[in-house]
Copies of this chain bind each other. A is one copy, B any other.
Amino acid sequence: MLLHTVHFDSAAPVQVPTGTLLSEAAHLAGIEIGQPCGGQGRCGRCVVQVTAGSVRRRSALRITPEDIAQGYAVACQTVVEGDVSVHVPQQDTLERRLTSDRTAAEVAPPPGYNYLQEQTIRRVLLRMEPPNLDDQTDDLSRLRTALRQQAEFSHVSVSLNMLRSLSDLLRQGNWEVTCVLEILTESDSSGIQERLVAIFPRVVFDDEPLWAAAIDIGTTTVSLWLVDLLTGEVKAQVAEYNGQIQYGEDVISRIIYSGKGSGLRDLHEKVTGTINNLIDQACKRVNAKPHEIVKAVIAGNSTMIHLLLGIPPQTIRLSPFVTSVNQPPGLHARELGLKLHPEASIDCLPGVASYVGADITAGVLSSGLDDMDALTLFLDVGTNGEMVMGNREWLVTCACSAGPAFEGAGVVHGMRATKGAIEEVWISSPKSPHPYEANYRVIGSAKPRGLCGSGLISLLAEMLITGVVDKAGNINLNLAPLNPRIRSGDHGPEYVVAWGSESENGSDVVITAVDIDNLKRAKAAIYAGYIVLAQSVGVSLDLVEQMLIGGSFGKYINVEKAVQIGLLPDLPWERFQFLGNTSVRGAYMALISQQARQKVNAIAARMTYIELSADNAFYEAFMSAMFLPHTDLATFPSVEAAMEKPQNVSAQ
């Protein structure tokens, strides 16, 4: 038998025969590589890097071609074929690598970014003669003259707010001030109009940043990027929970709350409060002052935009589900109580419908979907599943009332993806020595408190693959004798993910039959959306050449697991791409490019919205998708292949 020498980092080398798994060789070398899935090649947690020598990969699930090119290999699925050197990454490092994998590219302005070309904001230094008894020109006229003579701005509008501080600012600056203006129109022959945005009573040097913000208002999280308009660079990225959460987790409960007493004002103030906090945070990082921010582009779903603007969102909730406004007019920070410069320009991106808002048009922009040749499906999973199918020729869109199950609501031990949430679960094979055992990973390396969305998807998929649940989603109580985790609880069958002895509060963390039903409905609604969109344009879902997944939730989805429960279509791995928060990125793109900004309008205008609430095709597709992964298992060939044969087990 031919032996090969395997070096693991600084450990003593070991000798193994051809065909030995790297995971076994590591064990021999005294190195424990975590294998939560029991060495089934499903979890990808045992990835190592082969730095020299020859190996053969049996499976490359969870490894991209780029990873392979760099020598990465799943230890439990890779066999030795010669002398090799292997590096075992720190688990932390690995996790970070895997989660940032295939997500959005680095944030950078487009090459050749030109402030003067891309921005309608201008900053000019003006020097004026002070008034005297021989020249009693009023302050505003003096400023206008300087703007005209020194900067060629001849049609500058000045707000009342600005007039109220004009006299002080001009004198504070000793008649030497820096003005920020916004050029409003360059259309037609009628010439240019400008708006005075800010007066800084000092000389601002040319290389000082000109601050602006790109903001995404998510139902759960608000994100803000602070940008220097002069260079187009993102200088700070901050995010925090939307303060409205205390009044309801999802848009529907917020709409209801907004209709009560001071509800609309409360919600408006909560979200502006959140944004104002983010502004403070971002400003601190770069040593800027909030009132130096002169512009913001804002994306968000239609309800979030209505609440930000203080517009009653009631009609969004009730049939026929219309918004007050899809394309808000240009506004100013003071109108909204935002802590930028009071006159800062606020540009809310346009939405398409009540449940396809500016977060989706921004998402389409940042995904590039509208420019693609390939048939592409864009999905943003949050409380609702909004999706867009199309390419450069056409775009169709719909929103599925998935409910907040994937955000942890409607699930007994569901929770948001914060510290203590189980974010990934592996269940050991029926054939393993300890069948149906659970392994899990918790966010923040804490004791488990519950299950977040990705944990639920992962759990449900494992339950299906190992046969703990059947295709209908029923927990197989026949397996109870094999593992006490499978049991009948107070509310029917359940599976224990974490025992009370391991958990934060000492109670078992379980998933119940009701939870599974809720998750099934949510994923079925989303899958039915794909089907309706595909049908509406007469294509088959498997023709989708590219599937783009946006939203911060999407970032943590394990594609394989999501496919296994039928939340994502069963497409080849390489067709999936995670884009992260496409909404804030779209807002950023619109902020730093006039062309991109105009594109968002074009996207909104091009998108054909399909209302699902009264659509029979949707209802049928939904019913068909109420199985795991689907009634028609032929549409999920990879899942069929992966499923353990339950009869092996029940024969035991």
Contacts and interface: CB of A to CB of B under 8 A. Distances in A.
A163 B320 contact: no
Contact of A166 (B140, B167, B188, B324): B324
A323 interface: yes
Overall SS of chain A's interface = loop
A140 B351 CA distance: 13
A329 B160 contact: yes
Interface string A131-152: 1110111111100000000000
A166 to B, nearest CB: 5
A189 B157 CA distance: 20
A353 interface: yes
A542 interface: no
A303 B100 CA distance: 62
Nearest to A310: B164
A288 interface: no
A164 B264 CA distance: 11
A354 B131 CA distance: 13
Contact of A137 (B166, B312, B322): B322
A93 interface: no
A614 B133 contact: yes
A163 B336 CA distance: 13
Interface residues of A, number: 49
A613 interface: yes
A336 B171 CA distance: 25
A136 B322 contact: yes
Residue among A309, A325, A611 facing the most chain B CB atoms (10 A cut-off): A325
Contacts of A581: none
A611 B133 contact: yes
Contact of A164 (B133, B168, B309, B353): B309
A443 interface: no
A314 interface: yes
A160 B320 contact: no
Contacts of A614: 133
Interface of A: 131-133, 135-141, 157-160, 163-164, 166-168, 187-190, 309-312, 314-315, 319-329, 331, 335-336, 353-354, 609, 611, 613-614
Given A136-B354, A164-B309, 20 more contacts: A131-B320, A133-B319, A133-B613, A136-B353, A138-B322, A138-B325, A139-B323, A139-B325, A140-B324, A163-B324, A164-B311, A164-B312, A166-B325, A167-B311, A167-B312, A167-B315, A187-B190, A188-B189, A189-B190, A190-B190
